[in-house]
């Protein structure tokens, strides 16, 4: 994952400020379940081979990336259980209460609490040995 040195902005549709961007396009995942619309307040772009998890619309631009590829402020590497979010303000008050931001926080917490395959294998091995 590469956290680009940019910021995302939308001059057409935003929450009070052009840097407060809406996200409505989500890749299906445990992290994005039940999300309709979130707001990110100081988001930047994450580049990854795995692809993004949430995508900006056609009116949202990067301050440094000129191509019109799909920009994403969230990325997930499922096999390594690594989540990247290029903005953490959505987790703080009062921003966590906006739109579906609290649902996103709950989804991340649930995702972190679910044991991965390695943990399950180690647990099974300990149970067999002990």
| Stated pTM of the model | 0.83
Contacts for 49-52: CB closer than 8 Å, 24+ residues apart: 50/75, 50/76, 50/77, 50/78, 51/27, 51/75, 52/27
pLDDT at residue 97 in the model: 95
Residue range(s) defining the domain that contains residue 39: 2-129
Mean pLDDT computed over every residue of the chain: 89
Count Cβ atoms below 10 Å from residue 75 Cβ, excluding itself: 24
Q: Three-state SS for 15?
A: strand
Please state the domain count of the chain. Answer: 1
pLDDT digits (tens, 9 = 90+) for 49-101: 877 999 999 999 999 998 878 899 999 988 878 999 999 999 999 999 999 99
Alpha helices in 1-130 (DSSP H): 101-113, 117-129
User: 46 - beta bridge partners?
Assistant: 3
């Amino acid at each position: 994952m590469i956290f680009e040195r940019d910021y995302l902005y939308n001059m057409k549709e935003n929450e009070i400020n052009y840097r407060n961007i809406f996200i409505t396009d989500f890749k299906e995942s445990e992290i994005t379940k039940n999300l309709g619309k979130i707001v990110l307040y100081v988001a930047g772009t994450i580049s990854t081979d795995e692809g993004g998890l949430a995508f900006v619309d056609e009116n949202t631009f990067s301050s440094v990336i000129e191509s019109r590829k799909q920009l994403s402020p969230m990325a997930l590497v499922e096999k390594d259980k690594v989540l990247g979010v290029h903005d953490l303000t959505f987790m703080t008050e009062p921003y966590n209460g906006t739109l579906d931001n609290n649902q996103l926080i709950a989804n991340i917490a649930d995702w972190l609490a679910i044991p991965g395959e390695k943990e399950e294998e180690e647990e099974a091995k300990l149970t067999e040995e002990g």
